[in-house]
Structure formats: structure tokens, C-alpha cells
Amino acid sequence: MLLGMVGIGSMDLENSASHTRQTVRDHDSNQNIALIDLNGMIASFAVDANGHNQVQSLKRQFRWANEDDDVKAILFRINSPGGEVLASDEIADIVRESKKPVVSVMGAVAASGGYYVAAPSDWIIAHELTITGSIGVIMSGYSVRNLMDKAGVQPIVFKSGKNKDMLSMNKREEDITAEERKIVQDMIGETFGRFKKVVREGRNLDNRDGEDGGTLVEDWESFADGRILSGNTAFEQGFVDELGDLDDGIARALKVAGIGSANVIRYRQPMNFSMMFPFLGKSEPQQIKIDWGVELPKLKAGRLYFLSPTLLY
């Protein structure tokens, strides 16, 4: 569980590398499997109690696992509806570049960006009722022009080029030119092409340590139209390798690593209370929020997202 804090001070995040091991399951072994969790919306602006954003936190945990000689495989447990395109791509790179085999285990939801980050894994496991798929890209915006007209507010815009105010909230939908629509749609198409490339390459058995896993069906791209899939359907179409849960993930990690037994551990970074120093000595009241649950950040207009449509608004 991550602690979320608002109003933290600046610090050297790259050198903040102290961590401890926590044993999740003790099998009295001298070998370990590292459990790494991704929960909630994928977002570069989600910050934990130590000031690390989501990508930084995952990068550290994967690095610790890869540098730990006792760790033989990584269990990547995903429960996410997706999120920002860039953050999803950065996490997928972390998985792809891991020196240790990665087994992704999907929870209740691993859709869109949640599937994107799993695709480069050596093995993917989903529950029969997991919500996954939603392969696609979306960008949304809002127009407040009709409301402005009713209030008698007239926007005055000076711009350096004809497309500088594209996606502006001041424009009526009928004012959006065909050229502007094409520019945005081309960008979405390019990003969508990358999504399909990540899926195609990730599901290529030649890249997966010789494991006899699932392969994509011939017409798999017909399922890459943004629709959500159950774990069962994803398995049938070759998007995942196995149906199961965390226990099955542990068994598969042992097999992929070629070992008979291992403890399951996770890494913890102690909370750095020095981050609270900026609040000390202040005469005005300061607000610190600690979040013990999961809260979806508000979507930002004009950004590309790999996100399940059930959580857009």
C-alpha cells in the first residue's frame, strides 16, 4: 500500500535507494521470487510518500530485483484500468528490459494500459473474470463555447499559426477544421500502431525464453478495437498464456526460473520523514493528506491515454 502526500519538499529521488525485504510467503528457501505490484491508474503525476512517481517506484523495484542474486524471477501483479500513454510505455520498457523472467498476474482489471505493460512479460496469467483487452488510444477534450456565449463572454485569441489553438475549449465543434481532426487522428493512429506493435512483439514466443505459451490468433487485431475482454476470451485469443491466480503465478515463476522452491518477497522503501521538514516552522496552517486507498486522478484534456472506457468520466 502506498502513502500519498500533498505538498512535499524537493529531494534527490535518484539517490534515494535504501530498501528492505518483506517476506510475503516463507518456503524456507535460499531463493526468492520478487512480487511487484501495479495498482490503480497509470499516471506519471501519482506520487508516493517518498516523492517517487509511479514509474520511478516501479523502476527501482525492478532494479532491486534484478540486482538481487537471490531473486530468480519477478511476479508483476497488475490491477489497473490503464492510464497515460507515456507512463505506460515507460513501464513496458522496464518489464521488457528485465534481466530476470517476468510473470504478469492480472487482477480484477488489467485493461488498455494495464494490458500494455503486461504484454512484454515472459508469461501472462489472467483470472477467468479479469477485465482486460481495451486495446486502443483515446484523447478527450471539452468545449465551453456555448456556455461562454450564453454568459456573453467572447474569447479573443492571438496565435502564431492556424493550428495553434486546436483542441481549445473556446472552439465550437463546428469550428474544428478537417485539418485539425486529421492531425489529431493521425497522432492517435500512430500511437495505436505502437500499441499493436508492443502486443505483437510481446506475444512472440521467440522472445519469451522458449516457454510454450499462448499465441495470438490470426485475426487478433479485430479484437483490438477498444473492446474489453474477459480473461476467458483473452486466453482464447492468445492475449494471455494461462488462466489462474497468484498461486498459479508463483508456480509458473518457479517453472520459468527452473527452480523447485522459493520464498515470495517484496521490497519496501522506508518512509523518509525528512520530506516533511519543509512543513516545520511554518506559521500558516499546512495540509498533509495521507491516502490509504486508491483514487483515480482526474483525466487531463488534450492528453493521450491507454484507458478502459468504463473509467473515462
Least confident of 13-17, 179-183, 245-249: 13-17
Across the chain, mean pLDDT equals: 84
Catalytic residues: 112, 164
Per-residue pLDDT reduced to its tens digit, 242-271: 999 999 999 999 999 999 999 999 998 776
Q: Could you tell me the residue range of the domain that residue 293 belongs to?
A: 13-138+195-311
**Those residues with Cβ within 8 angstroms of residue 199's Cβ, 6 or more apart along the chain or in another chain:** 115, 116, 119, 135, 216, 220, 224, 239
Domain CATH code at residue 210: 3.90.226.10
pLDDT number for residue 4: 31
pLDDT (0 to 100) of residue 210: 59
Residue 20 belongs to some domain of the structure = yes
- The verdict on residue 4 lying in a domain is no
Q: Is the residue at 175 inside a domain?
A: no
Please report whether residue 165 resides in a domain.
Answer: no
How many independent structural domains does the chain possess? 1
The tens digit of pLDDT for each residue in 93-108 reads: 999 999 999 999 999 9
On whether residue 146 sits in a domain, the answer given is no
- Say which residues have a Cβ less than 8 Å from residue 277's Cβ, sequence separation at least 6: 9
pLDDT at 309: 60
- Of 47-56, 100-109, 144-153, 231-240, the least confident: 47-56
Q: Is 223 helix (H, G, I), strand (E, B) or coil?
A: helix
Domain presence at residue 84: yes
163 lies in some domain: no
Among 270, 266, 272, residue whose Cα is nearest residue 246: 266
Phi, psi of 267 (to 5 degrees): -100, 140
DSSP per-residue letters across 99-142: SS-EEEEEEEEEETHHHHTTTTSSEEEE-TT-EEE----EE---
pLDDT tens figures, 70-83: 999 999 999 999 99
Per the domain annotation, does 26 fall within a domain?
Answer: yes
Does 51 score more than 70 pLDDT?
Answer: no
SS3 215: coil
